[in-house]
Amino acid sequence: EVQLVESGGGLVQPGGSLRLSCAASGFTFSSYWMTWVRQPPGKGLEWVTNVNQDGSEKYYVDSVKGRFTISRDTANNSLYLQMNSLRVEDTAVYYCARLAHITARPSDYWGQGTLVTVSS
Amino acid sequence: QSVLTQPPSVSGAPGQRVTISCTGSSSNIGAGYDVHWYQQLPGTAPKLLIYGNTNRPSGVPDRFSGSKSGTSASLAITGLQAEDEADYYCQSYDNSLSAVVFGGGTKLTVL
């Protein structure tokens, strides 16, 4: 059974940093693109970043470029999101998801999400 | 303001058919990029409902169907059930933004 479990969320002050983790199991982690998607409280979904199987390709939404870094550790079947210079508008539930081996790579499995709150 | 435009809400009685539109432009849906649909039940993570415009993942009832034409896509739900009450999101890719994009979401209410 495919499982994705996020952790690392919490309350942080504006300008602070946080590192999210996503533990993957039930599939060959090294064979899949992975993604982070966020959802501000009461609002819609926003794509944040994608990473390919070996971590050599990374893509980001403009609003987080230069502040967020996606990475992965195949040995530990884990995906990470390092978030620096956090802003109030980064407050959201952050989901990690697997990108399917299908054209246009839909997100076929999602974690339960971890809440990041940026506030003073 | 989302790049993909969805109606904020739709509603229907049990057993009825509803459709949810997703309107894009020549830089996303109109450029030929596939559209995916997700269902998000209250308090839960999104779930893939339709991929590649028209395809259903294993386990998704055939009451759900997707279509695409020009710069728009649609999700149709027939035989509405109370359990279908959820938020629905379309997703595609935009080549002018070089980004994955979501619609703003549509809240489906089963009357």
- Reading the block at residue B64, the tokens are 């759900």
Evaluate whether B18 touches B81 at the Cβ level (below 8 Å): no
| pLDDT of residue A117 exceeding 90 | yes
Q: What is the pLDDT of residue B49?
A: 98
Residues A78 and B89: their CA atoms lie apart, in Å, by 27
Short-list B102, B110, B73, B103, CA closest to B8: B103
In Å, how far are A39, A95, B86 from B44, measured between CA atoms?
Answer: 12, 11, 10
* Confidence grade of residue A41 (pLDDT, cut at 50, 70, 90): very high
Q: Fill in the DSSP letter of residue B103.
A: B
Q: Residues of chain A with pLDDT > 90: what percent?
A: 96
Question: What would the pLDDT profile of A60-91 be if each residue is shown by its tens digit?
Answer: 999 999 999 999 999 999 999 999 999 999 99
Residues forming a β-bridge with B90: B37
Question: What would the pLDDT profile of B48-106 be if each residue is shown by its tens digit?
Answer: 999 999 999 999 999 999 999 999 999 999 999 999 999 999 999 999 999 999 999 99
* Confidence grade of residue A101 (pLDDT, cut at 50, 70, 90): confident
Mapped onto helix, strand or coil, the DSSP state of residue A65 is: coil
- Reading the block at residue A94, the tokens are 């952050």
Residues 47-76 of A with CB under 8 A from B: 47, 50, 59, 61-62
Beta strands at B9-12 and A107-110: parallel, antiparallel or unpaired: unpaired
Evaluate whether B89 touches B38 at the Cβ level (below 8 Å): yes
Residues from B contacting A (CB-CB < 8 Å) are 2, 33-34, 36, 38, 40, 44-48, 51-52, 57, 87, 89, 91-93, 97-105
CA atoms within 13 A on the CB side of B94: 19
Q: What is the pLDDT of residue A103?
A: 81
Evaluate whether B85 touches B39 at the Cβ level (below 8 Å): no
The answer to whether the Cβ–Cβ distance between A113 and B48 falls below 8 Å is: no
Contacts of B76 (CB under 8 A, 6+ apart): B17, B18, B19, B20, B64, B65, B66, B67
